């Protein structure tokens, strides 16, 4: 059964400076807790209900380990649990998570724009860098690369004003429809690690126009044309690729 969907939490695109941990002191959560905050931020941002079992799957640990971490996070005022045991970030937790995500996405953008790494390598290296990167350095990097609005694969950098454009899932387009690529879901990146490399190798780029050639809902496949090339993928993956809603 597919995971229950609900309206997405406030988009990271709407998170302003007040939604980030303030100051340049790096007194944030431990690296372990930061991983949980980041996971909740990403899953929640795609409109998926966050539960302990989902976090265990995402992080790759046992459910008792997740339960212990969540108790600590609740004690520290970072998360809260709803009546159906769904998890959400408190305002304090969202600020902490947004700060972690900001560092990650700025690091990714720097690795791609300044150092020339591909999308997948940049994502992997940014994951290693983010916990040791101070806000002072992250902010300077962001300034140095021209204050971009998004990471290399289109996800908004918290604290940066968005462009106000609407988006829709690639899988929602009908054959013959065309739209520019806006972003690739962080959830898809996590669940299909080679997706970023696959898309990069097949001509996908931010702003590049994608046309739906064929859609088979029964077989769960979709064929698109991008840059004069035909590419096939599952509709599940296509639901996590977002294009501009024209």
For 40-49, write each residue's pLDDT tens digit.
Answer: 999 998 888 9
Split at pLDDT 50, 70, 90, the class of 170 is very high
Residue 2 pLDDT > 50, yes or no? no
What pLDDT sits at residue 1? Answer: 41
Report yes or no: 53 and 15 within 8 Å, Cβ to Cβ: no
What pTM was estimated for this model as a whole? 0.82
Let me know if 81 is exposed, middle or buried by CB neighbors in 10 A (0-12, 13-18, 19+).
middle
Residue 23 pLDDT > 50, yes or no? no
Helix (H, G, I), strand (E, B) or coil at 208: coil
Residue 218 pLDDT > 90, yes or no? no
Please report, in angstroms and rounded to a whole number, the separation of the first and last CA atoms in the chain: 31
What pLDDT sits at residue 197? Answer: 84
Give the CA-trace dihedral at 185, 187, 190, 192, to 10 degrees: -70
Domain residue limits, the chain? 1-162, 167-244
Domain 167-244 has CATH 2.30.30.90: yes
- The CATH number, out of the four listed (1.10.10.10, 1.10.20.10, 3.40.50.300, 3.40.50.800), of the domain defined by the range 1-162: 1.10.10.10
The pLDDT tens digits of the residues spanning 196-211 come to 888 888 889 999 999 9
Report yes or no: 95 and 19 within 8 Å, Cβ to Cβ: yes
Residue 24 pLDDT > 50, yes or no? no
Report yes or no: 234 and 218 within 8 Å, Cβ to Cβ: no
Phi, psi (deg, nearest 5) at residue 182? -105, -50
């Amino acid at each position: 059964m597919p995971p229950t969907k609900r309206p997405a939490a406030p988009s990271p695109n709407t998170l302003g400076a007040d939604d980030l941990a303030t100051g340049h002191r790096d007194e944030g959560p431990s690296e372990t807790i930061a991983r949980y905050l980041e996971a909740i931020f990403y899953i929640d941002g795609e409109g998926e209900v966050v539960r302990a079992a989902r976090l265990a799957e995402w992080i790759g640990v046992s459910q008792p380990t997740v339960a212990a971490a969540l108790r600590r996070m609740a004690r520290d005022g970072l998360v809260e649990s709803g009546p159906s045991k769904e998890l959400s970030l408190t305002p304090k937790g969202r600020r902490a998570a947004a700060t972690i995500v900001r560092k990650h996405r700025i690091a990714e953008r720097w690795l791609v724009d300044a150092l020339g790494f591909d999308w997948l390598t940049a994502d992997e290296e940014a994951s290693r860098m983010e916990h040791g990167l101070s806000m002072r350095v992250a902010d300077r990097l962001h300034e140095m690369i021209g204050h971009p609005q998004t990471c290399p694969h289109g996800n908004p950098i918290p604290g940066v004003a968005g462009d106000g454009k609407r988006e829709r899932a690639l899988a929602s387009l009908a054959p013959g429809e065309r739209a520019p690529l806006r972003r690739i879901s962080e959830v898809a990146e996590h669940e299909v690690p080679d997706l970023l490399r696959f898309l990069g190798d097949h001509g996908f780029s931010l702003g590049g126009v994608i046309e739906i050639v064929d859609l088979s809902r029964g077989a769960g496949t979709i064929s698109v044309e991008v840059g004069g090339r035909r590419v096939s993928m599952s509709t599940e993956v296509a639901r996590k690729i977002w294009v501009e809603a024209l």
